[in-house]
Amino acid sequence: MHNDRSTSELISQSLSGDLSADQQTAVDQELETNQQSRHFAKISRMIQDSLSDVARRSVAGDDGIAPGLSQASKTRMKQSLQREQSRLSHSALRATVTSGAITQSTDGGSRGTSAGVRDSPEQRRMASRFTLVKKIGEGGLGSVWLARDEMAKRTVALKEMNPEAAEFPRAWERFHREAEITAHLEHPNIVPLYQFGSDSQSGQPFYAMRFVGKRTLVDAIEEYHDRRKAGEDVAMDLHRVLTAFIGVCQAIAYAHSRGVIHRDLKPENVALDNFGQVVVLDWGLAKISDEYESESLLSGNSVTSDSAVGKTLAGEVIGTPLYMAPEQAAGNSEDVDRRTDVYGLGAILFAMLTGSALHQKTSGEEEHSIPIAELLQKIATRPSPRPRDVASEIPADLEAICVTATQFKAHARYQTATEVSDAVQRWMAGRSERRQNYANSRSEGRELRTSMMSSVRDLERNVRFMSSLPPIQGIVDVLAGREGDEMAIWRERLGVIFRGLLATNCDFCSVSFARVKDGQFQELIRIERQASDISNVRSIPASRLSSGPLTDCMTQALDSNPDEVHVALSSECPDERSNRNPNRLAAGVPVFDAVTEELFGFVLIEADLDRLIENQLRDRFQATSRLFVLDNDCRILLQMNRDGGRVRENDGKSISSITECWSEILDPLKKRGEFIDDQDHAVYATRIDLVPGRYSLALALCLGDK
């Protein structure tokens, strides 16, 4: 330092930030070693702060400043202060602007315009390369115009500060900060900033950015839910909005990596075009995270920090209430961090899934809306709603993602926007695989239904054929006394035929011929398959043949006309042998004396229902976690796991005790014969009409945990 005068000048220049690096180093060394210089620097700072306060108060319209000046002088001073403030604020990013603005009149001519005059957009051109076309949005801080970039020959969106806001220094700081943050974030899903500067005549700042159109995520959400309510196939619509959501997550993840927290995430701030481009808008409420601000200040690469423009005041609420996180609603600015934006992402996902804002129910119905203070208090103290509370058909796994993102406590949420994006992408990838598995299961279920009904028709044809065999009538004739004692011959012949039937039909477990008299039945011949060895087919000796009162199954078979077959579960015709394995399908047909045409008895074939189903299921339903076969009363007849193994612990239980969703499935199953789960792809159910209009089985395939 050469002398006191040069020292004073350098200290004064340092307060304005006009020193070179070498000069600043010299000043710092002088202040460390010279107490007098330190006193001078302190006084200079106090004077500058006082003058800055006078300037701010003057710009804000405080008439107590410079009371001796005329109103015209005050106006000139205010305009000079605004221009100087703009120059100081934007010197690093100031755009090149032209002087002598030309205003385009509506009749095609031109005329001059003075500073501060604001005509309609058709009549004026900004003092730059941009021509304003029409206003497309307006807020408390600034207005957004559709503008024409005359130099690049393209359409842009131009945001300029409102005249009212320009009266307040903090508004200038906010506007400058919004532009600088937007310019700082270079990402495909964040609106790019083209130019930042100030009008050379009015001195008010503006910035130009890409024009992304007026379609937002709100429009896409409304279209999706309108189509869904109309009963249309909305699978692709859901895929599109979720893909857009992933783009938003990626933009926010990038912003977080640059130390920027958006703080106002909502569908209105997400622009969409017709070609899949997703752009996050409106960074006016963004905050620089504390840890990033500290790091960037040390490196000298920070955007305008919160420290530079003043921290958000304690208790100040920043954001949109209907999408706001609890810590925002409480005004806890110190608790606002990246997880606050994670909550905002969850709130957007909530709107996608339900068609309404996260806190819309909290705010009350339109005719009974609550005061904003009360709404904020509820958001700050109550858990967030769940999507299925609004729309029960929402996929459970997708709801779980939304619930995790919008947890009341920040530590319970996803910790980063990337985690939210990954979770949704995993769901979408799994949904594609799940949808294919579900389609395969539906196809297999329908094939099984067709095959089972075909097996029942085969059972009917076989029992009808067995009842018409000559040995049957031969036995009838012997017992009627029309032939000699040839019972043994006819029984042997009939037994050979019955054995052949069981040998060629492994699902059949027995076939019998019985006589009926005085409400009692007496088996005359019975061929059955051994339960422990299905390859062993044996004839039951006459001494072991069954007899007793007619069962309901037998009675209904006897009440049928010739060749009419009655089909039922063996539980309807219980006897000692059937009770050993109750899951049998019985088909009975009456037998009449061909001579007298009187009812003589019946032929009954029993099929092992479990074996019949298991044989049909072999090597099928590889994507199925569980398979249930139910009777008419929704009791479990058979349960199988993915590996084809049978689970016997639930036999005889009601399906409603195993799966809570059965009540939702039963009604469409009864009405349409099929239940299709379009949302979760978790359950497929079909009805198998063994006896149309009287007896059915239900087949339920569970791909998930429902």
441 is a domain residue: no
pLDDT(375) > 70: yes
Residues 270 and 399 in one domain: yes
Does the residue 437 lie in any domain?
Answer: no
Domain boundary among 188, 211, 234: 211
Name the H helices within 60-151. 71-90
Which pair of structure tokens corresponds to residue 594? 């061909």
Tell me the three state secondary structure of residue 160: strand
Do 491 and 572 fall within a single domain?
Answer: yes
Q: Are residues 207 and 225 in the same domain?
A: no
Would the pLDDT of 381 be above 50? yes
- Residues 410, 310 within the same domain: yes
pLDDT 10s digits, 330-374: 888 888 999 999 999 999 999 999 999 998 877 665 445 678 888
Residues 357, 285, single domain; the answer is yes
Beta bridge partners of 137: 144
pLDDT tens per residue, range 492-517? 999 999 999 999 988 899 999 999 99
Q: Is the predicted pLDDT of residue 94 greater than 50, yes or no? A: no
pTM of the model: 0.56
| Judgement on whether residues 178 and 251 belong to the same structural domain of the protein | no
Q: Tokens for 465, please give them.
A: 């054929």
Does 438 fall in a domain?
no
Inside any domain, residue 63: no
What is the distance between the terminal CA atoms of the chain, rounded to a whole angstrom?
81
Q: Could you tell me if 398 and 519 lie in one domain?
A: no
**Domain containing residue 234: CATH number:** 1.10.510.10
Average pLDDT over residues 255-281: 90
Q: What is the pLDDT of residue 656?
A: 76
Per the domain annotation, does 606 fall within a domain?
yes
CA triplet 279, 180, 175: central angle to 5 degrees?
Answer: 95
**Residue-averaged pLDDT of the chain:** 78
Structure confidence at residue 91 as a pLDDT band (50, 70, 90): very low
Residue 584 is classified by DSSP as: E
Residue-wise pLDDT tens digits, 137-147: 887 778 888 99
Most confident of 110-114, 427-431, 549-553: 549-553
Q: What is the mean pLDDT of the segment spanning 82-102?
A: 41
**Residue-wise over 641-653: b if at least 16 C-beta within 10 A, else e?**
eeeeeeeeebeee
CATH number reported for the structural domain that contains residue 138 in this entry:
3.30.200.20
CA distance 332 to 316: 8
pLDDT band at 291 (very low <50, low <70, confident <90, very high): low
| pLDDT score of 419 more than 90 | yes
Q: Looking at the structure, tell me whether residues 172 and 201 fall in a common domain.
A: yes
Last residue of a domain, one of 163, 194, 211: 211
For the ranges 3-12, 172-181, 471-480, the one whose mean pLDDT is highest? 471-480
- Asked whether the predicted pLDDT for residue 242 surpasses 60, the reply is yes
Number of separate domains in the chain: 5
pLDDT tens column, 296-335: 433 444 444 444 433 333 345 566 889 999 999 888 888 8
| Residue 137, domain member (yes or no) | yes
Measured distance CA(703)–CA(438) in Å, rounded? 7
Residue 13 pLDDT class (50, 70, 90 cuts): low
pLDDT bucket at 5, cuts 50 / 70 / 90? low
My answer on whether 601 and 628 are in the same domain is no
Give yes or no: residues 584 and 571 share one domain: yes
CB neighbour burial string for 276-306, b if at least 16 within 10 angstroms, e if fewer: eebbbbbbbbbbbbbebbeebeeeeebbbbb
Which tens digit of pLDDT belongs to each residue from 51-77?
Answer: 555 555 555 555 555 555 556 655 655
Of the candidates 213, 202, 196, 190, the one whose C-alpha atom is nearest the C-alpha of residue 130 is 196
Q: Please report the DSSP string for 374-403 in residue order.
A: HHHHHHHHSPPPPHHHH-TTS-HHHHHHHH
Q: Is the pLDDT of residue 387 over 70?
A: yes
Does 368 share its domain with 472?
Answer: no
636 pairs with which residues across the strands?
630
**160-187 per-position pLDDT tens digit:** 888 777 778 778 888 888 888 888 898 9
The length of the chain in residues reads 706
> 117: which residues sit within 8 A by CB, 6+ positions away?
124
Higher-confidence residue of 371 and 94: namely 371
Tokens of 614: 């298991």
Per-residue pLDDT, 391: 87
Residue 270 belongs to domain spanning = 216-415
570 with 512, same domain: the answer is yes
8 A C-beta contact, residue 539 and residue 499: yes
Provide the token pair at 241: 């909005």
What digits encode the pLDDT tens for the residues 188-240? 999 899 988 887 767 778 899 988 888 899 999 999 999 988 888 888 889 99
Domain for residue 60, yes or no? no
Kindly state the average pLDDT of the residues 592-619. 84
Q: Which of 211, 227, 261 represents a domain boundary (last residue)?
A: 211
Three-class DSSP category at 121 = helix
> Would you say residue 196 lies in a domain?
yes
